[in-house]
């Protein structure tokens, strides 16, 4: 599935959560960005992000976590 097919509402949710967690402005985030490598989330921010996702009803399994996990992949999980 390409990044262009990612639901815009789901992306908006992810962008807003990222902003709340580490202050990255939504307009500077793209679906291809890795949470860790590109957006620079540290372990504390990542845990905060995961908790906020769970509050939205989205659970990311430990097996899905990696330094390669992208904004677009998280948005697709929201749509499931």
**27-60 pLDDT tens trace:** 999 999 999 999 999 999 999 999 999 998 988 8
- What average pLDDT does this structure show over 54-79? 89
| E-only strand ranges, 1-80 | none
pLDDT recorded at residue 1 = 46
Better-predicted residue by pLDDT, 13 or 3: 13
Confidence of residue 4 (pLDDT cuts 50, 70, 90): low
**Which domain range does residue 17 map to?**
3-79
CATH of the domain at 13: 1.10.1200.10
- In the chain, % helix, strand, coil (3-state, to 5) comes to 60, 0, 40
> Which pTM value belongs to this model?
0.87
- Number of domain units in the chain: 1
Q: Is the pLDDT of residue 3 over 60?
A: no
């Amino acid at each position: 599935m390409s990044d262009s097919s990612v639901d815009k509402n789901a992306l908006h949710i992810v962008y807003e959560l990222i902003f709340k967690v580490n202050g990255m402005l939504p307009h500077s985030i793209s679906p291809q960005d890795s949470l860790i490598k590109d957006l620079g989330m540290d372990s504390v921010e990542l845990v905060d992000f995961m908790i906020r996702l769970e509050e939205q009803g989205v659970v990311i399994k430990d097996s899905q976590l990696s330094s390669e996990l992208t904004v677009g992949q998280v948005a697709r999980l929201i749509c499931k």
